[in-house]
Structures are given as C-alpha cells and as structure tokens.
Structure 1
Amino acid sequence: HSLHCQHPNTNFCILTRPNTHTHTHSMVDCHILLYIFPGQGAINPALQFAKHLIRMGVKVTIVTTVFAHRRITAPIPEVLTIVAFSDGYDEGFKLGDHDAQHFASELRSHGSRAIAELITASINEEGQGHPITHLVYTMGQTWAAEVARGLHIPSTPLWIQPATVFHIYYYYFNGYGDMIRKHTTTDPSCPIEIPGLPLLLTSRDLPSLLVPSNSNSYSFALPAFKEQLEYLLDTETNPPKVLVNTFDAIEPVALRAIEKFNLIPIGPLVPPPSLDRKDYAEWLNSKPESSVVYVSFGSFVVLSKQQMEEIARGLLESRLPFMWVIRETEEIGDKLEELEQGGIVVPWCSQVDVLSHPSLGCFVSHCGWNSSLESLVSGVPMVGFPQFTDQTTNAKLIEDVWKTGVRVTPNEEGIVNGDEIKRCIEMVMGGEEFTRNAKKWKALASKAVKEGGSLDMNLKAFVDEL
C-alpha cells in the first residue's frame, strides 16, 4: 500500500491503491464503512466479506487498528481502502500482560474518533467522492453503531461466530440465565434445554463466558454481547438484521429460531486456497492421500508446556505423519528433534492451503469458528480440542450435529493426556462415517459459495435494500 494522505488533527492514515478497477455493474452509491475488531478471528472473515462486496461493485472502506492492519497478509483488492488508527496497542493486546478493561476502553475511545472523522469527512466531500452510507461492524462493538447513529448513518453487525452461539447468548440474557448458572455451578453434567435448539447441552458445551468456573480473561466480552443484543432491539422497529458467518445447511434451525432477529447467513467467509508454493508443500506432496494429521491452535491460544508435551506424545505414539504449527513463542522442550523424525513442525502456514491438500486426513484444532468453517469447506474431519469462548460450542456442533469429528476429554487437572489424543486421532482417521460426513458438508459449503448460492443471493439482497 502507498500512503494516500494524512488527515489533519487525527491519529490515523489512509492506506490505499489508485482506483483502476471497473465493475460490470455498479453499486457505488452504496459506500460501506467496515469496522473490524483487532483479532485474527474477526480480521479473516471481515476481509472476505469486504472482497465479496467489492465484487458486487460496492465501495468499501475498512477501519481498524494499526495492529490489525499489520495482520492483514492476504492480497488486497486495488479498490479497497484501509484506514488504520492507533489504539495504543500497536503490538497487539496480550492476555495476562495487559488489562482487558483498559484495552476495551482505549479501543472504544480511539475507534469512535476515527469512525466519526471518516463519516464526517466523506459527507463533507460531497460531489468529489462517495459519502459513507452504511456501517458494518464486527460483533460486540456496539459503540461503533452508536457513533454512526449519532451521524445518521445506519449500521448492521457482522456476527463471526455460529448462529447457535448467538441463540445461546440471546436466551441467557432473556430468561434462561439463572437456569444456566444453576446448572453450571451445581451439576455440570445436567443437560440444559434451550428453546428452539435441537440439541441438549451440558456445561462443557456452553460458550465458556457463561461458565463461572472458567476464570476467563474474556469476561469483558459478555457485557458487550448483552449490550449488542439490547441495542439492536431498542433501536430497530423491524426485527434487526444480523449478518452471520454461517450457511443455511449447517444451522437451519438456529438461523430462524429467534423471531425478534433477522439472522442472515452470508458465509462461509473462507478464503480460497492460494496457488503459492510453500516450503511445506513438498513434504505434503510426498504423503499418501488422507494420511496426514494437521495440528494447529490458531493465533491466540497459549498451551502449557505440559500440554504441549502430551500432544507431542500422542502424535508420536500414533505413528502417523503430522504437521504441527508451533509458534516461536511456544515451548516444546527437548522433543523437537524426535518430532521432526515423525512429522514436520512449522511456525506458521496458510491453513486453507494445508486443509485443501489431498494428503490431509484429520485436523486437531482448538475449534475457533474460522478453523471449524475452513475444515468443513475443505472436507477434513476434526479432533476438537476447544479452549474458551465459542470453541466449546463449536466442538459440540462438530461432534454431535455435523458428526465430522470427536472431542478430546481432559483429565481432572484439565490436561488432555497423550493416550487420549492418540485415541481420538485414531478414531477419526479410521472412521469412514467422519470422512463421509465431511465430504457431504464440503459439497454443501461449495454450493453456498458458488455464484447464485446463498452467500451471493443473501449478500445481494442485503446490498439492494441499502
């Protein structure tokens, strides 16, 4: 990107390329400002969302933090403008090192100013540019909607977790909170029935924010979700629209079960595999079809040294070829040399490229929603190893609804031992049902994203209404 301009009296700059692109049909009267929360779980789907809009001829401006902008490594369309502002956390927010409340407060303060200045500047440039006509913001960031509303700009949230999780939060805040709290504290194995959900949940299947025993650094997110739901119902006369990164086939009931909201499935927002040759491609090419175990816990999960050693033991004892993403900040002790005899260890990889490789047989994952969708889109069965937030519910969907994998069970100390990891890997790699179901969902995901599919049609209808 080249530096386009520095706004006077502001702390952000616009990074863009010259507009040399033309569209077959134009919707340039519609200019969407897309605010992205600075977390990888939000950045990836929001970027895909922006690209889909641009292909429809919509003008899109992304506004996010300096840290988030640095995390965007994928190719950017020429006509996409990205505005980066500093929230004081340019190296990123680190759990344990930083105060979550301070981070949320600074993000809100600096983000509000950036959004207000962008909207105001676009309106003042009337006749020269395209005024911002709508704000889309990643979930839980209601302050962004409030800023836009104060400037008479309507807004829509982009929910980047499954519709099932939205559904659970809705009922938790609307009459079922006491019942859920009671079950999670007195009898964690007691089944919890939530209206309209076709599956029974226990404490371990709920989003971790709802389980008091989890001393959770994400506790600030729960009030944000409550504020999100209340704001939408307070400010909209018709059932408020919520764009959801899912598709109809995988969540047909949860998408329609709450009459007060209009949940619009505009997923799966997953990037296509790239054609770039990576260092590890040759290794994958040398392995038989459906033989490789791929292990990755996303960009945020930090596992203890003991848990890392147990994963290493489970992988080595399975005697299957594996590819394990271990970030440079993670500890594996003296096991690295032994691991490299049985597999390959990398600090980073293009996950969609790896999952779409024919040698992949199974994905050991933290069950973040992006990873879960990427696995479904690629047709790869999973071993679910959830840690927090929505991952626990995603693992339930994988195991009991889509039936594309199994979930590990930790011991009393909360550690998943090597034997359990080996057992789950062998179960998934040897189970024809998992492979058959994974192929079924892959075909349905492919149908959703093709031209004329649900992603295309629902997004076009949303833009037409704007």
Structure 2
Amino acid sequence: MAKGHVLVLPMPCKGHVIPLMELSHRLADEGFEVTFVNTEVDHALVVAALPPGGAAELRQRRIHLAAIPDGLAEDEDRKDLNKLIDAYSRHMPGHFERLIGEIEAGGGRPKVRWLVGDVNMGWSFAVARRLGIRVVSFSPASTACIAFMRKIPKLIEDGVLNEKGWPERQETLQLAPGMPPLHTSLLSWNNAGAAEGQHIIFDLVCRNNKFNDDLAEMTVCNSFHEAEPAVFKLFPDLLPIGPLVADRELRRPVGHFLPEDAGCLDWLDAQPDGSVVYVAFGSMAIFDARQFQELAVGLELTGRPFLWVVRPDFTPGLSTAWLDAFRRRVAGRGVIVEWCSQQRVLAHAAVACFVSHCGWNSTLEGVRNGVPFLCWPYFCDQFLDRSYITAVWRTGLAVAAGEDGLVTMDEVRSKVEQVIGDGEIRERRAAAQGHGARLRQRGWLIAQEFQEIY
C-alpha cells in the first residue's frame, strides 16, 4: 500500500511538465502514489513520445497519467500564451474537480491527500482546498522569478510599474545584492505574448500570488541554495528542492512532447572531448527563415562539430531546398535532430558549449554539468536566466542583435569562439560542475517534508 496519494498538476507547457514529472518519480521512490494531470493535448503528446516500455514503467511505479480539457479547440494555437491562459483559467477548474470526484469514486486507490500544483495554476489550489486536499505550490522557474512576482505591489508603490504591470520607468532593477539585474522592459509578464493580451498574464500572476499566500502550505522551487543564495535570504520561506532529476541514469520517462533521437548520442561518442557546440531553444521558441539561416551559417562558419535540435514547428516557411543543401554541406560535422535527451547530451564530455534560449530547465541542466552558455533568450523569464548566467554566475555570454533585431552569422561564429576560448569562464564552469557533482549526491527534500506533515 502506498504511503499516500498525491495529485500533480503542471501548467500545460513542456518546460513545466518535465520538472513535475521528475518530482513525481522522486515521490514514487519514497512510496507515494501519484496521479499526474495533463491537458488532453499534452497528455496525447506525452503518451506518443514515451519510449518503449515507458507506459508500463510508469504504471509499475504507481504514477498514473490523467487528462482534462484545456478549453481550447483542438486546432487552436497553444503557443499563444494569452489565449491558452485565458482558456484554462476559465474551463479547467470544473474539469479538475470532476476528475478528483471520479478518482475518489473509483475506489481501490488511497484517498488524495495532497496537490502539488504549478504556481501558475493557482485556481487549482482553491479547488483542492474546497475538497479537503492540502496544497504545495511548485515553482518550475528560477526563484528570482518568484521574487519579482512577489515584489509587484512594492514596484507599483514605488512607481516603477503602473497598476497594469507596465514599466513607468526605463531602468535596471536589482531586488537585492547578488540577485540578477533585470531591465524593466524585460519583466516576464510583459514578454510572454502579444502586447494586447499582456493584461491576461499580469492578472494571472497577481491572482496566483494571492492563491499562493492564502492556500498553499509551502512553496517549493526547482533550485538550490548555491545557485540563488540572495533570493533564499530575501524569502526564507521558499524551499529549494532542486535541481530535480528523475534518476541518475537519466532514462526514466519524464514527459517529453517529442520522441528522443538516441542516434545523436552515438555520434557524440565519436567526437573529441570539448569539441561540440550544442544548440537547442526549447519547446516554444520560433525563428523566422532569415534568422534560422543566419544561425545555421554561423554554426557552419565556426568549423566545429555541432548538434542542433530543430523542432518540426521551429521555423515555419523555411525553404526545404535550402535546408537540404545546408545538411549536405555540413554532413558528418553537423547533426540536426527533432528532439534529444538533453540531460544526457549536456552530461557528455564532447559538449563544449550550449547555445540556449535559457529556459530554467536548460539553465539548470547546463549548470549542473559545467557547460558554458551562449545565451539567446526568447521570452518570459528567460531574460532573467540570461542575467544569472552572464552577470551573476558569469558562466556564459549573450548574443547581441543588430538594429533590425537580427543576430548575424558573424555574431554567432564570434560569440561561440569567445565562450569556448574564455579561460575565466572555463574556471567558473569547473566550479559550477563541482556544485553539480555534490548536488547529484545530495539527499532530496520534498519527500521528507511530506513524511513529516502527511
């Protein structure tokens, strides 16, 4: 019999699903039963991308996958965060409550005692508490991101923001010494979608702050003290439990939306240590055809082997003939895949640097393995993560766009060489890698917390 039954609910985005699935595996390791609740669309993607035997392994570990509608039609654009957030905030609470009722009525499983809910899904906290279920709030982003959100009332009071969340002053903010500086134009709620829908995300952040304060018994973060000491000093109630890893072998299914290409790992095995440029921009970034071509030629100009993750939807409108010609030119030296096991790639000795969108999962994975970054953020909190990498930890550099917003092939080539050749970055990445080795051996906290208060 399991020690207890925990519901886990991510925001419907891959970067939120993966760390919560990793957390679910750790709960299962400690004897808890888990029901992992995705939207129907994400559930279908996760199931389709499971490796052979993955579904059976999850069932054996008592991790049950469940799904509810998100309120959007099947063919609507779920990369439009304004539209997605508006729909799920209105439609998912009722479906979530019905799912809990079905679980309880089904019998044969322990009663649901806890919800571990994404901090971006605060409405679920109200549903859970109404049904007598206790709540843990989970932050999949940097703890500095949570700090900026918590400081919204103070920023409004000080005249930095207006009541709608837009900056009143163009300046660089630093909430405390040692925290990453961030320009007011790059606050996460102003960079997540079309400007006309900004109020949807800002209102969500403000509501979630209140849900978290009023209904969650604790807030846990996919972070660790050594990475963000200033934030944990500023907000000592936040509990770091990261970086989350499902298993040391990096083989357990963790909720990817695309099947992983394992062949690239064999290719990496054949490359010299510290030679490969790894390029990946997560699950949401979109490049236009011109920017894609500049990046591609920039990688070619480095003369280095590279591994590049290019999702099928990464560059709509790109000429197939152009891409085929590029593949032929770099054959053997450049490998392009639709998806891969990023954690295993970044742990490989052949990888020399990581050209990244700076999503928090990617950031932690790079830091844990001591890989230097070339930062290329796309939206939301990724600019804050870039600030950590370039200004606080100083384990990478950032690309610079021209006046037309384009990052040129020469900028790509030059910055890759600077990152790989910088001796000081090399020393700091070695220190970060030492932290990573200790973190992989460190005892994990969240299951202990559940044990003590279950």
Q: Answer yes or no: same fold by TM over 0.5.
A: yes
- Contact 2:372 / 2:396 at 8 angstroms: preserved in 1? yes
Aligned to 1:266: 241
Match of 1:142 among 122, 138, 150: 122
Q: Is the 8 A contact 1:165 1:207 kept in 2?
A: no
In 2 relative to 1, CA 187–435 (structure 1 residues): closer, same or farther, beyond 3 Å?
same
Instruction: Please show how residues 21-170 of structure 1 align to structure 2 within 5 Å.
Output: 28-72=2-46, 73-74=49-50, 75=54, 76-77=57-58, 78=60, 79-89=62-72, 94=77, 100-101=82-83, 103-124=84-105, 128-170=108-150
Tell me the secondary structure at the aligned position of residue 308 of structure 2.
strand
Total equivalences in the alignment = 427
Match of 1:113, as an amino acid? G
Give me the whole-angstrom Cα distance separating, in 2, the residues matched to 1:421 and 1:349: 22
Q: CA deviation at 1:88?
A: 4.8
Q: How does 1:323-342 map to 2 (within 5 A)?
A: 323-329=307-313, 330=315, 331-333=317-319, 334-339=322-327, 340-341=330-331, 342=333
Q: 1:457 to 1:157 in 2, by over 3 A?
A: closer
Report if aligned partners of 1:207, 1:391 keep a CA contact under 8 Å in 2: no
1:31-430 equivalence runs, <5 A: 31-72=5-46, 73-74=49-50, 75=54, 76-77=57-58, 78=60, 79-89=62-72, 94=77, 100-101=82-83, 103-124=84-105, 128-176=108-156, 179-181=159-161, 188=170, 190-195=171-176, 198-203=179-184, 206-210=186-190, 215=195, 220-235=200-215, 240-258=217-235, 262-271=237-246, 272=248, 274=250, 278-329=262-313, 330=315, 331-333=317-319, 334-339=322-327, 340-341=330-331, 342-430=333-421
Question: Cα 1:147–1:220, aligned 2, differ >3 Å: closer, same or farther?
Answer: same
In structure 2, C-alpha distance between the alignment counterparts of 1:243 and 1:374, rounded to whole Å: 18
Amino acid at match of 2:64: T
Name the SS for the 1:41 alignment partner. Answer: helix
> Percent identity over the alignment?
25
Residue type at the aligned position of 1:100: N
Matching of residue 460 in structure 1 with residue 441 in structure 2: no
Separation in 1, partners of 2:11, 2:81: 17
Could you list the per-position Cα deviations for residues 264-288 of structure 1 after superposition, in whole angstroms to 9, with x for gaps in the alignment?
A: 1111123455479822233222211
- TM value normalised by structure 2: 0.85
2:13 counterpart letter in structure 1 = G
The TM-score normalised by the length of structure 1 is: 0.83
Alignment partners' CA distance in 1, 2:44 and 2:409: 36
Distance 1:160 1:277, change over 3 A: closer
Supply the distance in 2 between the matched residues of 1:418 and 1:359 (Cα, whole angstroms).
Answer: 23
Secondary structure (helix, strand or coil) at the match of 2:279 reads strand
State the one-letter code of the partner of 2:232: L
Within 2, Cα distance between the matches of 1:91 and 1:197? 45
Q: 1:432 and 1:198 mapped to 2: Cα distance?
A: 24
TM superposition shift of 1:424:
1.3
Which region of structure 1 is more displaced relative to structure 2, 281-290 or 73-82?
73-82
One-letter amino acid of the counterpart of residue 66, structure 2: V
Alpha-carbon distance in 2 for matches of 1:400, 1:45: 25
Gaps spanning 5+ residues in structure 2: where? 252-259
CA shift, 1:176, in A, is 4.5
Pair 1:437 & 2:437 matched: no
Alpha-carbon displacement from aligned partner over 1:358-386 (angstroms, at most 9, x marks no partner): 11101101111111111112221110000
AA aligned opposite 1:32 = V
Q: Which amino acid aligns with 1:249?
A: E
Aligned residue type for 2:82: A
In 2, are the aligned partners of 1:125 and 1:131 still within 8 Å (CA)? Answer: no
Alpha-carbon spacing, 1:356–1:139, altered in 2? closer, same or farther (3 Å) = same
In 2, the alpha carbon distance for the partners of 1:361 and 1:434 equals: 12
After superposition, give the CA deviation of every residue in 1:42-88 in whole Å (9 maximum; x if it has no partner): 11001000000010111111112122222323534321111112335
Higher relative contact order (CA 8 A, sep 6+): 2
Mapped to 2, the partners of 1:160 and 1:360 lie a distance apart of 25
- Tell me by how many angstroms 1:464 deviates: 2.0
Give SS of 2:101's match: helix
- Alignment partners' CA distance in 2, 1:155 and 1:397: 30
Contact 1:295-1:323 within 8 A present in 2 as well? yes
Deviations 1:259-309 (A, max 9, x none): 6xx211111123455479822233222211110101111111111111111
Q: Which stretch shows the higher mean deviation, 215-224 or 410-419?
A: 215-224
Unaligned runs of 5+ in 1: 1-25
Moved more, 132-141 or 336-345: 336-345
Tell me how far apart the structure 1 counterparts of residues 192 and 448 of structure 2 sit (CA, whole Å).
41
CA contact (8 A) 1:293 1:360 kept: yes
Displacement of 1:389 after TM fit? 0.3
Shift of 1:152: 1.9
- Is the Cα–Cα contact under 8 Å of residues 295 and 364 in structure 1 kept in the other structure? yes
Deviation at 1:318, TM superposition (A): 1.4
- The letter of the residue matching 2:225 is D
Contact 1:245 1:267 (8 Å CA) reproduced: yes
Query: Residues 123 and 42 of structure 1: is their aligned pair in 2 closer, same or farther, counting only changes over 3 Å?
Result: same
| 80-89 vs 57-66, greater mean Cα deviation | 80-89
CA distance, structure 1, for counterparts of residue 180 and residue 312 of structure 2: 39
SS at match of 2:230: coil
Do 1:167 and 1:254's aligned partners in 2 also have CA atoms closer than 8 Å?
yes
Residues 209-243 of structure 1, C-alpha deviations (whole Å, 9 max, x = no match) = 2469973866533221211112232347xxx5211
Q: Deviations over 1:323-369 (max 9, x none)?
A: 11122232554154235344112222221122122111011011111
